[in-house]
Structure 1
């Protein structure tokens, strides 16, 4: 178990926080520590609920990249994200839900479009294509635009 713990702390950048009490950490530090605890368990399925909340942009990218690595190593990863742009950029499959029902599912390039954003969030948006990986980029329109 010590090896798994060390690997999880390194992977999440929380090694320096290992001796700290969770209630004394910032929200972002706490999120990364919770992720380290989950990863150290080495379960075949990882369930994460908003693992990037309270994180700055750099840590969001680090966490989602780490999660992709975990999935590529053979573990099933299910993440709840309200940030459709991050989900579209990092997920292999997106399941969009509203009021407890699935309204769309599939590869982000196949399902993320203006009508989906409108149905999910009641917001008009333009969907652009990211250079490099062609991931959909959600750009909300200003009200009245």
Structure 2
């Protein structure tokens, strides 16, 4: 689905990612995990070309990412960034409608199909009672769900989420992760940055473990999530055991 070869990303003189080879599997939920400063968000923003200044090769659906026009790429990849800037005085519904921007005609009017996709995204994120409210009047958790609805309305085969559970209480975190699984079951490839390692193991099919801008290992949670990995990458002494609900590996901090 997405591949890199010798990918390098720098900010000024500082190299964040260097000579990274990676394959994101199609039709799976891939979690990017690693300690703070490991390059997770930088990698995600590069994979969707928010960061355009990179070296090496980066391909999406078998084509170099540089060959896509911005509007064309936005029909294949949607992104929920970590830092969100809400336009002033905008209603919830209007913000969700922005997700349909890549598909609008020259006149910029939403079609019946556009409205249907917006309605579905609003329903899936359970924000029906918020649609007429101003986004800047909402709580942090409510705003996060509205932005997620906008991403869902974009309806792309690849969905990228940078720490999407930020500002969400525990019940809404679980709700969101189950929604991600539902989107994946409908055929979408999901790439998500997560800090909660147990969430990553429970809900994701594929883990990419980063440290200092390099891929330490990748594979299924059962293959890569070990006590030695936690010790070497996260400086964490923990016991790894089966999750009693999902039977995926989980860790308990010692």
Q: Decide which structure has greater strand share.
A: 2
**How far is the alpha carbon of 1:76 from its aligned partner?**
1.1
Corresponding residue number in structure 2 for 1:98: 211
1:10-49 to structure 2, matched below 5 A, reads: 10-49=123-162
Instruction: Confirm whether residue 80 of structure 1 aligns to residue 193 of structure 2.
Output: yes
Cα RMSD (Å): 1.2
* Structure with larger Rg: 2
Write the distance in 1 (CA, Å) between the matches of 2:135 and 2:238: 38
Write the distance in 1 (CA, Å) between the matches of 2:212 and 2:227: 19
Write the distance in 1 (CA, Å) between the matches of 2:247 and 2:162: 26
Relative to the length of structure 1, the TM-score reads 0.92
Write the distance in 1 (CA, Å) between the matches of 2:206 and 2:247: 15
Larger deviation, residues 113-122 vs 56-65: 113-122
For residues 82-114 of structure 1, what are the alpha-carbon distances to aligned partners after superposition, in whole Å with 9 as ceiling and x for unaligned?
A: 111100000010111111111121111111111
SS of 1:123's equivalent in the other structure is coil
Corresponding residue number in structure 1 for 2:122: 9
**How far is the alpha carbon of 1:119 from its aligned partner?**
2.4
Relative to the length of structure 2, the TM-score reads 0.54
**How far is the alpha carbon of 1:22 from its aligned partner?**
2.2
Instruction: Confirm whether residue 138 of structure 1 aligns to residue 245 of structure 2.
Output: no
Q: Decide which structure has greater helix share.
A: 1
SS of 1:118's equivalent in the other structure is helix
Write the distance in 2 (CA, Å) between the matches of 1:59 and 1:5: 20
Structure 1 residue runs of 5 or longer lacking an equivalent are none
Instruction: Confirm whether residue 63 of structure 1 aligns to residue 176 of structure 2.
Output: yes
Write the distance in 2 (CA, Å) between the matches of 1:18 and 1:118: 46
Structure 2 residue runs of 5 or longer lacking an equivalent are 1-113
Alignment equivalent of 1:109, drawn from 208, 222, 227: 222
Write the distance in 2 (CA, Å) between the matches of 1:98 and 1:23: 36
